[in-house]
Structure 1
Amino acid sequence: MSREYFSQLTTKDVFILTTILERYDNQADAFATLLREKLNHATVYFRDDIPGDVVTLNSRVTYRLNGQIKGPHLVVQCQGEDLPDYALSIHTLCGLSLLGLAEGEKTAIEDNGKRQTIFIEAVEFQPEANLRLREQDAAFSRTQRQAVDPSPQVLKFQPKQKPAIARRPDDDDPGPFAA
């Protein structure tokens, strides 16, 4: 595998790739070789730290394969022939080679003597970046709600005062209050 940049993987991606490699039992085919190189030359990030333009598991990516535009494809862990057309498994050479590349990066792989060049056009969705955005939105929403005093406004109501009866000084009739 030759390319301009090394892989950028999340800790989850490394765990899954390591598990796949353990199942290969020292095989020397193109897939196992690519898998070993990807793990040996990877920069590993926590989920919150990986750049948003890097292909991780469950990312939606558009890429060029030998100059032809492909995708958008969802990079998935599942394997098998019954995957939908929009899914690309990391159990294939193409899917594995996409994992860890960033927008604008390219790699070359060889499969059965055929050299293929892969170039990342766009990472349209990355689950880690999406999660960070949702967390930022939630934090912003919380700060907006805190700006308004959540306690209820209490108003005091006092009974209306009855108007006082004015007495005239020259009137000797005490009125109804005299009784």
Structure 2
Amino acid sequence: MTDTCCLTTKDFSTLEAMLQRRRAFADPIAAVLEEKLSQSRVVPVDAVSPDIVTLNSRVVFRIDAGPLETRTLVQNETRGPVGSSLPLGTRRGLCMLGMARGQTASIEQADGRRERIAIEAVLYQPEAARRALQEKPARRPAALTLVYSAPWGSRPLGEIGKIRQTEDNDPGPSAA
């Protein structure tokens, strides 16, 4: 599949759990998972480079000499609109996980044919986005500005006025 790849501790754990399930059902992709896990370098989630494909990353890639494609690498096939995601359980999705921008890998499909996957760009990576939010300086709220001044003695906004009633406190049948 790939020479080496860089997986976050979270993605590595996801693949290990996936391998256990796939082994239980004698799934042919279990061998691909084993290879991926054995060839991976594991890094903490907060230390992964922003150009590495992680789970839920939005990736621009090319298959062989085909057109550029953009997909989000997802764990479950049912997430997101049709055609916008690439499940991790596919050979392509599994191959892309941990690859870096500019890296190319060759994978063998179930029917025996080989294809090359080239990662052109990582448009969004959740780990990098989280770091960017944490690194932003805290914004102080701007000074408050009075935008409306009510005349003295007027009722506060939202207050309900009193109901006028007749002298004997019986509004009569017309109030019903």
Provide the TM-score with structure 1 as the length reference. Answer: 0.71
Conserved? CA contact 2:59–2:71, under 8 Å: yes
Runs of 4+ displaced beyond 6 Å? none
Offset at 1:34?
1.8
Conserved? CA contact 1:62–1:69, under 8 Å: no
Match of 1:159 in 2: none
Name the CA distance, whole Å, in 2 between partners of 1:99 and 1:79: 15
State yes or no: 1:141 paired with 2:138: yes
Offset at 1:41?
1.1
Name the CA distance, whole Å, in 1 between partners of 2:17 and 2:120: 29
Match of 2:41 in 1: 43
Amino acid of the residue matched to residue 7 of structure 1?
C
Match of 1:16 among 3, 14, 17: 14
Offset at 1:124?
0.4
Name the CA distance, whole Å, in 2 between partners of 1:6 and 1:51: 15
Offset at 1:126?
0.2
SS of aligned partner of 2:45: coil
Offset at 1:47?
1.1
Runs of 5+ unmatched residues, structure 2: 141-176
Quick one: structure 1 residues 78 and 135, their matched pair in 2 at CA, closer, same or farther if it must change by over 3 Å? same
Name the CA distance, whole Å, in 1 between partners of 2:80 and 2:68: 19
Match of 1:114 in 2: 113
Aligned residues: percent identity? 37
Runs of 5+ unmatched residues, structure 1: 146-179
Conserved? CA contact 1:8–1:101, under 8 Å: yes
Match of 1:65 in 2: 63
Q: Which of these two proteins has the greater Rg computed from alpha carbons?
A: 1
Conserved? CA contact 2:23–2:30, under 8 Å: no
The correspondence of residues 127-166 of structure 1 with structure 2, limited to 5 A, is 127-137=126-136, 140-141=137-138
Conserved? CA contact 1:62–1:123, under 8 Å: yes
| RMSD (CA atoms) | 2.0
Residues 96-131 of structure 1 deviation map (CA, whole Å, 9 limit, x = unaligned): 111000001011011111101000000000000010
Match of 1:55 among 41, 44, 53: 53
Name the CA distance, whole Å, in 2 between partners of 1:76 and 1:28: 19
Name the CA distance, whole Å, in 1 between partners of 2:43 and 2:79: 31
More helix by share: 1
